[in-house]
Structure 1
Amino acid sequence: MRPLRRHATTLLLVALTAAAAVALLVLDRGSVSTDEAERRKKHLIEAWRPDEITELTVTMAAPGAPRTARLTRGEVDDAGQRPWNVEIDGQRYPADEPTVDQLLGTLEFATAERRVSAEASDPAALGLASPRLSIALVMGPRRERLLLGGGAPTPPGAVYAEVAGRGVFVITKQLASALDVPPDRFRSRSFVPYVAAELSGLTLDGDGGSRRFSRAPWGGGRGAGFRFAEGSPEGSGVRVSAPALDLVLSALGRMQAEAFLSEEEARQAASSGGPRVTLTLEPSDPAAKRGLIDVGGACPGRPDHVVAVRRGPARAAACVPASVLDPLTEEASRFVDLALVAAPLDEVAEVKLAAGERSLELARAGSEWHLRAPQDRPVPTETGRALVQAILDVRATRLLPAASDRAALGLASPRATLRVVSTPPGAVAEGEPLERIETLEIGAEQAGVVHVRRLEDGAIAEIPALAAGALLPSEVSLRSMKVFDFTPDRVSALRIERPGLVQRLRRTGEGAWRLVEPTGEGLAADSGLADELAELLAGLQAERWIAEDAGQSHGLGAPRLVVEAELDPAPDPGGGSTGAATRAARVALGARSGAGSFARAGDGAAVFVAPPALEAAAGRLLLRRDVFLVPPHEIARVTLAPRGAKPVVIERSPEGFTIAGAADQASAAALAASVRDALADLRAEGAVALGEPERRHGLSPPRLRVTVELSRPQAAPAEESDAVPPRAPVGSFTIAIGAGDAFRGTNVVYARRDGVRAVYAIAQSRVRPLLEAAGIAGD
């Protein structure tokens, strides 16, 4: 004890020194350094240390009693963040992080317009004795407090503000508005307690019936990872359509609280319409509570919103966008997955098709594909993608119950199997990506249909027999996508045949096109349309190859459309001709396949899917579309004669076009100019029929007759036939405008010009000025 007593004084001095150092450190942390004070001398808050901010209290004056939001910062979470929580009216909620960040940013950079002198700083006179807003900030050892009072005389909208320990200032209207955040705004807008990755199950009850989904063992992101627990017409366990369930999950993400409601407001809203659907969210964490949300009922004062009442795990009521209801009220049948393979293209890693001794095995290596069987070789990227996409595109017309008689459906001994391996994003086990394996058993064709069993969920799909080819091993599916490869300028003639019509065109020496067939008054070829078809044929690519030889199936026994191109010999690299004989490129289009068509090329037996652009180009009349165009400088007079009404006459004068007999010449001139411009822009979308118009065209009689008198005779449209001599120029012609319709995605009216034996479709937007000038209401 003696040594201890001998050093007691020394130990006491050391302890006092340490305590003083700690106190000095604390005081130093609370003080503002010279550099900091210089940097922030124009700011309202003279020190700003964001890492030390732990508490923020906002109190706003309100009728009856002020409302306060007390925000506190939590500990570091798994994401390395320190989330904010807010306490309002004794209840604690997660805070809306963007709103908190925005207010802190405003405080950090808040500056004053000017300082108010101490003599003029009467708190009562400046509205600071009963401030409309109070903001308190805990920043380490420092305590900051800001009050907003009444309005200042200048600048307009300015407000008095007091900073504790610094004095009174005038701040701008914009700064005051940014600081003026109602306490409820600090509550997180997120209303749904769990995200998709946290769910083991999801139930929808109400409009649309009862639909219960549970997490499936095969994994998969978002909606791809669920199956029916019950409520499916085909029984439990059936795979849920990923796109359909993704719409539900997206709706949950959009279920943000636009305004929170009191319990009384929520009860009143429920009585005015009640919930339309109840969501039950089953969390994967067994310790977490189930989420229960009722959605539906009119939201007070917000017509585009509905009421959502969360009954668990924490009770709340809010207005949410009404659009969230649409996917939540779909019937169970809309959620049944009719796709045979669920994996998206970019996740597929391997494909194996097998039928007896025949097999085809394809694997992905990055963005490239490699054939493993029957040979080992690389496969062009577009060919590999086309083969896999063809498989993914096959969809069932319906699903049969898993308990169906498999023997009766041709599935007791399947004729083929398909195995698809994919790697869903985020699916890992022990650090390695998890593989999803989907296996299909393909039965024999029965009366035009094929039954396929999905082993993943046991469902039995019924598909059209024509679609089954994509599920069978065939090396034709690995052919190059290029069907033809020649230059368009080698096409010297075209022949297009469809039931009841043959079109033949031949290229002239100048490169234009001449119509050989059909023949008729005023018919001529449209070189632009013919060039487009020649170009499509020259570089024709298959969307995918289907079968080596499908016989007379796929609608190719009696094709809907046959296109032939006569080709000139290929030029010799030395500058001359190769001397090769003229040959033809031929394509026959059969039954439709999605947007495209099954097709054969030349005399080959292999079937491919032709792109829809080929039929769009070859399936129309290749007739001139400019037969209605009139150069404005050639117009002398235009007579608009609506059915059953007085004609309107537009005449050319030295001052321009005007309406004869019009009282208001200025308005008449503007209307006449619109007619002139419309006639100069009256290009048709295309010809729709040959010969006399049909009743549906509305041309007997027409809604409007437009008679155009020319200042000098114009060459009449002439038939392109050596047997028909050119007709004499015409001094006038008439355009008939008929019924409205749709043509190739455009709203049109049917029209006809005298001297041309064809009916055309013209866009309504081009004809509207003529109809309006004639006093006819547009379509």
Structure 2
Amino acid sequence: MVPSQGGRRRVNPRTTGILAVIALALGLFVWFHEIEGDVARQAVADEENRVFSGFASDDIDAVALTTLDGVEARFERREGRWWLVDPRVARADATALDAITNALANLPKEGSLAGGKDPVAFELGTDPGARGFARRTVGFEVAGESLGLRVGRTTPVGGHRYVARLADDDVAYVESFRVNAFERNLSDLRDRNIFTFATDDVERISVTGSEGREVILVRENGTWRLVAPFGALADQEVARDLVTNLAHLRARDFVDDPEAIDASLRAETAVRLAWRLSGEQTDYVARLAGTTGDARLFETSAGDWIFVAEERVGEFATDADAYRFKRLADFDLASARRLELHFAKEGTAPTAALDVVAELRAVGWASDDSPLDPDRMTRLVRELSNLRATGIFADEVGEAERAALGLSPPRARLRVEGGTDREQPVRILADLRFGRFDPTRGLLVQRDDMDTVFVIEPELADGLPYSAAHYRFAFETPGAGAEEAPPEVDPLEGVPMDGVGAP
């Protein structure tokens, strides 16, 4: 201490520094010896309490066991992937095999029995066919060393399972759920994924139905197009779904003896699928064959046979129209802020019968022009946000034909404006022209940016404001000028609508 002015002592900075170093050293000692030491000691205790010790699950290179359905199977890890190698060679389910190796490497004992106990009494015997033979034996290899686990009966109290290593007769018991990973049928240990290609690698895919007509889609510069039986823009979402459904097709059951399957089922072709990957010159081919009723026989591109769920057949449409672009509107529902509706008078007069501007306000959709129903307008915007036509009337029509179809001028026009950023100028989210409506055949529609004339089925069209009369009936508040729906005549009398969808 150094005397200071006023009689009080001033602490020597050197002394303060020494005390700080001592405090830091003491804290580090407590941390490493007590806290870190406790963690290390607990890790050692956990290791000693395991049935097996000295290796991790990733160190296990092979597993052999008798499956729940009585098959003696062997699995090996090759280049990071699990394979079934006996009784046949096939990809194994990585998740199931990882669960087995994790259970073997990290199997904690709940308790041990005193030495001298006969393993046979706990159904842990090693003599096949003899009394007390182990209920399940799991062999495995670590760095070339063969190890094994025997699983016996359930304990009388507590519902645990008796276990013992294959190399000795020390009996322990473990929690029952920890050995569930070993209780699997062979099919549950096989990889049910049929294909391993990435969806982004597919650049060409074709679907052929039983009638033999091939539908071909090709991806060019990131955009899917139909190239057969005719050329047209494809619906990008539908095309991507086709590729995804193929890539994620999973086996329901495995067929290891195709000759045991009825030859007529193998000969039938319900759907033929062919696809080509980027950078390759040849196609992979697979096909959906005959059905047993609830399962469909499938021949993979490698020539193997499996069964897939029957409902998966519907995911591979063989009609070209299913893949055509028929999207009339596609926008984020929350981005819509303004609707403009223009309804023309019947006939060719350009004078408007009704103009409506609706805006999304704090209380919902509202208009100064019309007593609209805000809930019904909300449903309308929701339907418009992902609106698809059900068919195509024509790829393009002349001006006279457009007039005859009620599209020039349009019987009704609907525009949706908005954007996700309210500080930015509004964007046009949808711009549709509604033409003639027939109660049995549907509504004709055009996008403002396309010449194609689309068809919307009557049930779906009923939710759209395709005329002034229908708008007043379906979208205005009841009792505020709404009227009964007027009877609809067939305005398409004499206009052919058969064969909608193909040009």
**1:271 and 2:256 are equivalent in the alignment:** no
Distance 1:121 1:394, change over 3 A: closer
**In structure 1, distance between residues paired with 2:65 and 2:290:** 31
The share of aligned pairs that are identical, in percent, is: 14
Contact 1:211 1:230 in 2 (8 A): yes
What TM-score comes out, normalization by structure 2 length? 0.57
Query: Against the structure 1 CA distance between its residues 146 and 190, is the aligned structure 2 distance closer, same or farther, given a 3 Å change threshold?
Result: same
Task: Return the offset for 1:109.
Answer: 3.3
Question: Does residue 302 of structure 2 align to residue 305 of structure 1?
Answer: no
Q: Select which of 275, 279, 282 maps to 2:275.
A: 282
Task: State the Cα deviation string for residues 588-636 of structure 1 (Å, max 9, x = none).
Answer: 221499xxxxxxxxxxxxxxxxxxxxxxxxxxxxxxxxxxxxxxxxxxx
In 2, Cα distance between the equivalents of 1:564 and 1:362? 17
Query: Which consecutive residues of structure 1, in runs of 5 or more, have no partner in the other structure?
Result: 1-32, 75-83, 220-224, 372-379, 424-435, 471-542, 566-584, 594-779
Match of 2:63 in 1: 58
**Could you report, residue by residue, the CA deviation over 1:100-157 in whole angstroms, capped at 9, with x for unpaired residues?**
34324433235366447468579xx95436686333253xx796722337x5696599
Give the corresponding residue for 2:484: 589
Q: Does 1:189 align with 2:167?
A: no
Query: Which of these residues, 281, 289, 296, is aligned with residue 289 of structure 2?
Result: 296
Report the counterpart of residue 400 of structure 1 in structure 2: 393
Instruction: Give 2:299's aligned amino acid.
Output: V
SS of 1:296's equivalent in the other structure is strand
Q: From the superposition, tell whether residues 382 and 256 of structure 1 become closer, same or farther in structure 2 (CA, over 3 Å).
A: same
Residue of 231, 234, 238 corresponding to 1:236: 231
1:488 is matched with none
Tell me if structure 1 keeps the 8 A contact 2:207–2:316.
yes
Alignment match, 1:747 = none
- Structure with the greater alpha carbon radius of gyration: 1
TM alignment of 1:757-776, pairs within 5 A: none
Structure 1 Cα separation of the partners of residues 320 and 95 of structure 2: 38
Q: Secondary structure at the match of 1:71?
A: strand
- Per the alignment, residue 249 of structure 2 pairs with 255
**8 Å CA contact retained: 1:147, 1:162:** yes
Aligned to 2:182: 179
Matches within 5 A, 1:409-424: 409-410=402-403, 415=409
Aligned to 2:52: 45
- 1:202 matched to 2:205? The reply is yes
The CA RMSD measured in Å over matched residues stands at 6.1
Residue from 133, 136, 139 that aligns with 1:135: 139
1:394-434 CA-to-partner distances (Å, cap 9, x unmatched) read 765752342654553349x96579888999xxxxxxxxxxx
Check the 8 A contact 1:563/1:587 in 2, yes or no: yes
Check conservation: 1:254, 1:324, Cα contact below 8 A: no
3-state secondary structure, aligned to 1:294 = strand
The aligned residue for residue 330 of structure 2 is: 343
Distance in 1, matches of 2:392 and 2:107, equals: 63
Assess, with a 3 A threshold, how the Cα gap between structure 1 residues 386 and 275 changes in structure 2: closer, same or farther: same
Aligned counterparts, 1:350-749, within 5 A = 388-389=381-382, 391=384, 398-402=391-395, 404-405=397-398, 407-410=400-403, 415=409, 442=433, 452-454=445-447, 459-461=452-454, 550=468, 553-554=469-470, 587-591=482-486
Q: What CA deviation, in whole Å up to 9, does each residue of 1:184-206 have, x standing for no partner?
A: 53332212444655543432223
- Report how many aligned residue pairs link the two structures: 412
Q: Please state whether the residue corresponding to 2:288 is helix, strand or coil.
A: strand
Residues 515-538 of structure 1: CA deviation (Å, up to 9, x unaligned): xxxxxxxxxxxxxxxxxxxxxxxx
CA contact (8 A) 2:271 2:318 kept: no
What is the match of residue 67 of structure 1? 73
Match status 1:212 vs 2:212: no
Residue 465 of structure 2 contacts residue 471 of structure 2 at CA under 8 Å; is this kept in 1? Answer: no
Task: Answer yes or no: is the 8 Å Cα contact 1:438–1:456 preserved in 2.
Answer: no
Other structure's SS at 1:109 match? coil
User: 1:98 maps to which residue?
Assistant: 95
Q: Against the structure 1 CA distance between its residues 387 and 586, is the aligned structure 2 distance closer, same or farther, given a 3 Å change threshold?
A: closer
Match of 1:190, SS state, is: coil
Distance 1:363 1:251, change over 3 A: farther
The C-alpha deviation readout for 1:316-363, integer Å capped at 9, x for no partner, is 332222221234366445555555x1425438679997999x999999
Residues 544/260 of structure 1: CA separation in 2 closer, same or farther (3 Å cut): closer
CA gap 1:60/1:335 in 2 versus in 1, 3 angstroms: same
* 8 Å contact from structure 1 (residues 351, 388) kept in 2: no
Q: Distance in 2 between matches of 1:402 and 1:200?
A: 25
State how far apart, in whole Å, the 2-side matches of 1:420 and 1:193 are: 42
Q: Using the alignment, how far apart are the partners of 1:126 and 1:398 within structure 2? A: 68
Measured after TM superposition, the shift of residue 180 of structure 1 is: 4.1
Query: 2:112·2:171 contact (CA, 8 Å) conserved in 1?
Result: yes
TM-score by length of 1: 0.40
In structure 2, runs of 5+ residues without a counterpart are 1-39, 129-133, 343-349, 368-372, 420-426, 489-503
Give the drift of 1:69. 0.8
SS of the residue corresponding to residue 232 of structure 2 reads coil
Once the two structures are TM-superposed, the CA of residue 228 in structure 1 deviates from its matched residue by 3.4
Q: Which has the higher contact order (CA 8 A, sep 6+)?
A: 2
Match of 2:310 in 1: 322
For residue 590 of structure 1, what is the amino acid of its counterpart? A
Residue of structure 2 in register with 1:147 after alignment: 149
Change in 2 beyond 3 A, CA 1:462/1:183: closer
